[in-house]
Amino acid sequence: MNVFIREVSGVVIDGLYLNGHVGSDYNGKNGITLGALPDGEDELGCSGTVEIKNCTVFNLGPETIPSVVLDFVGLVVIDQNSGTLSIHDNTVHTINDDGIQLYHNLAATTLYDNDLYNCGEQPIDIKSSSNITVYDNEIYRTAGFTGLGGITDPPDCIEIHDTADLETMTTIVVRNNDIHCGNGVGIRVMDNMAEVEIYNNEFTDSVGGIWVYREAINVSIHHNLFHNGADDCLKIGISTADGATLTAVYNNVFYECDESIIVEEAAWSAENDQNLFKNNISINPDNYHVKSIESILSNTFDYNSYYPDTGTLFYLVDTAYNFTDWKTQTSQDANSITSDPVVSSTSDFHLQNTSPCIDTGTDVSLTTDYDGVAIPQGAGVDRGAYEYLSATIQGCTITGGVH
């Protein structure tokens, strides 16, 4: 590896330029490694204030990237369980495996303003860690860059999971990131995760937006934008599957997805149950607004906006339905609507003044929208990611003569 530091209190790594293809042996497998796996009862991680910033790390892997050869990581922090960790303003790209990996960390951690692209596995991989905020990062794959030589299908941009039951992972926030995952999934949450909040992110050009499954609990997904952007459409908006419970999906916008919301079969130990879907807007899906592979159970759909209502754009178990029959079959969406939400454009989802989504949502205890505007702005909560702001002038004072 290029840089290896462990059991040090207080670390600043600033401005390193690491090219993994310098040297005949590709200069080691990892670019920057802080900490190591515990040796017996000893913790080998760093502590205190740890900061990694302004670094460029690239070409970690064999000569041809991506390859099926494993374990090349741009930057990894292991077993930091005290102090603070800040990783920001770095560029990490062309990595065979993970771009940034956090493994078994409990320290208060922020990852922000990083440029991460063309990583064979996850640009950000959060394993068995807690107390992490990920924000204002640009994460993408260029056309044709597949994961690990194509063996990972599909690779994720951000993965949050417990790999070995090391800790009950809690308090993860992912917000305000631009995610363009190509042939992969934007964010995947799984394996006994709890208390994860995902909001104000924009997903374009991805096979999947957010997948939540395998006994993830209390995941909040709100005010995200899922759309095709300049390239391929987002093919799956949100999938809650395999025993995900208490997932709250509020005030998101889905534009031209294959399926906006998918509720898949619970194949693991718990039912896919008690998930809430409210105040969302789905526009022009290729296949379905909602696709539920199994019965609705105790999941709740209401106060959503589905447009258009043509044909059979709702799927339940093994049958496609129109909106009226969907409501009859499921007893859901009593207060949902199918009229045109009247947004600004195909890439700008602010509501216009004639939108039926203004003031017609339901209070789900969220306080700000995608733009940071206070909720509500009118007589009630709006559906979708943006509160409507009327064009009013307040507190205006004119001095001097008026002609």
* Domain ranges within the chain, ordered by starting residue: 3-330
- pTM for the structure as a whole: 0.90
More confident residue, 228 or 188: 188
Please determine, for residue 17, whether its predicted confidence score (pLDDT) is greater than 70: yes
Distance CA(236)–CA(87), nearest Å, equals: 30
Average of pLDDT values for 41-63?
A: 86
Helices (H), 78-134: none
Compute the radius of gyration of the chain from its Cα atoms: 23
Query: Could you tell me the pLDDT band of residue 269, with boundaries at 50, 70 and 90?
Result: very low
3-state secondary structure of 255: strand
DSSP letters along 202-253, please?
EEEEEEEEEEEESS-EEEEEES-EE--TTSSPPSEEEEEESS-BS-EEES-E
pLDDT at 230 over 50: no
- For the domain made up of 3-330, give the CATH fold: Pectate Lyase C-like (2.160.20)
Closest CA to 73 of 29, 138, 128: 29
For residue 24, what pLDDT is reported?
46
| CA 283 – CA 259 distance, rounded (Å) | 10
Give tens-digit pLDDT for 313-370.
999 999 999 999 999 999 999 999 999 999 999 999 999 999 999 999 999 999 999 9
